[in-house]
Every structure is written in structure tokens, then in C-alpha cells.
Amino acid sequence: MLFSRLVPQALPRLAPGAVMSMQTATLPATLRVTLLVTLLVTLLLGSTAMAQDAAPRVRFDTDAGLIDIELYPAKAPQTVANFLDLVDSGFYDGLIFHRVVANFVVQTGGYDRNMQSREPPRTVPNEAANGLRNRRGTIAMARLDDPDSADSQFFINMNDNPHLDRSPDSPGYSVFGRVVAGLETAVVSIELTETHLVNGMAGVPVTPIVIRKATRVPTGD
């Protein structure tokens, strides 16, 4: 939205070297009101814009500790919208980190502590052409061979993984956020946990690491 420029009323002329004070040259009342209103509107619009521009965050309360994730809706709008809907619906609550490969990824979003799969409500198209890279600490969607088969499972990169980025030879894996708190504590703890083979699936933690609750973090926290 564009706002027209405010043209202030003429101010008193001062002789060279003169100093204007509130006692000798006060602003007209109407101009003071106009300036005050303009200042208040500017501050209000600025704070609103900052709130709108703030990247949404999600907190995972896990058996290994708290993990805060910052999301990038401008870069991966459909992926972020799907992810937030799953968070808001409680989909991730009670699921485990079911795939852990040290120095590569930790993955979650598909199985409970009994290794029973949880059916996601939808799939989302691949958004790996957004310019974001699979670098350590970023989060990306897991998928099948079909590039547009991502649903609820996601992984945290535990290393820079350029082979997961989009390239002429690969559709890539959609990065849509990054860990902003808990990477070196909770996430590394998960990465270093002991794993074993379960029903043909490698990298399953021996002791289940459960997502107790996933919630949005209020803006400003």
C-alpha cells in the first residue's frame, strides 16, 4: 500500500545563527497533531510488517530435549503449509525418530514407538528448486522415488549433503527450514544414539525417541 507524502505547513524563518526553542518557535497545533498521527501510524505499520515477516517456528518437545525449527514459507509455501497443518492437528505427537544415520540425517514423521506407521492426509509437490541447500541443520522432506510423494516424513541434515540438492540429474529433496535451537544438544543426542535393524529397516534407535508434542512457537518468543 502506498501513502501520499505529507506536506507540512510552513515553519517560521530563523535568522542565521538563531536557535529555535519550544519557547521561541513552537509548531502550529495542527502540524503537531499531524506529525504525531504520522509517527503512530508508521510505528503501527512497522510492527505489523515485522510480525508478518517473522518466519514461523515450531517446537518439538522430544525425549532428547527441545528442538526449535524455523520455517521458510516464501521458499517452500506448499511444504510449509502442509507441515504446519500437521503440527496443528497433532499428527507428529507420539511419533518417533525412526531413522538415524550419524553424519548424515535423523528422520521422523512416519512411525510410532511400536513401529506402526501413521497415515498422512496428503502429499505435496517437490519444491527443491527454491535455491535452499541441504546443509547441516536444515530440514527437508523425505519422499519416495516419485519427486512429488513427500507427505509427513522429514529429516534433519547432520552434515552438508549436496547430493540431496536439486540438480540436472536429480529432482532433489525440498528444504523448507532449519533448526535454530537444540541442534548441538537434542539433535546430536539423537544422532549418536544406538540403533538396530527392525523389520528390515536400518537405523532405528534401540531406545525409542518420542516426539511428545509439536507446537507452534508464538512470534517474539
Cell of 146: 516419485
Question: Residue 100 sits in a domain of what CATH number?
Answer: 2.40.100.10
Q: Note whether 64 and 186 are within 8 A (CB).
A: yes
Q: Is the pLDDT score of 103 beyond 70?
A: yes
Residue 170 is classified by DSSP as: B
pLDDT at res. 216: 98
122-135 burial string, b = 16+ CB within 10 Å, else e?
Answer: ebbebbbebebbbe
Establish if 195 belongs to a structural domain: yes
Residue 54: pLDDT band by 50, 70, 90 thresholds?
A: confident
Establish if 198 belongs to a structural domain: yes
Establish if 52 belongs to a structural domain: no
Establish if 46 belongs to a structural domain: no
pLDDT at res. 50: 41
**Pick from 52-61, 99-108, 153-162: least confident:** 52-61
Q: Is the pLDDT score of 49 beyond 70?
A: no
Mean predicted confidence (pLDDT) in 177-186: 98
Establish if 17 belongs to a structural domain: no
Establish if 33 belongs to a structural domain: no
Cell of 95: 511419533
Sequence-ordered strand ranges (E) for 36-165 = 57-62, 65-71, 95-101, 105-112, 138-141, 154-157
Residue of higher predicted confidence among 45 and 179 = 179
Distance CA 39, CA 90 (A): 42
- In one-letter notation, the amino acid at residue 45 is L
Q: Which domain holds residue 73?
A: 57-217
pLDDT at res. 2: 31
Residue 28 is classified by DSSP as: P
Establish if 174 belongs to a structural domain: yes
**Kind and range of the H or E run holding 213:** strand 211-217
Share of the chain above pLDDT 90, in %: 74
Total number of domains in the chain: 1
Q: Is the pLDDT score of 217 beyond 70?
A: yes
Establish if 140 belongs to a structural domain: yes
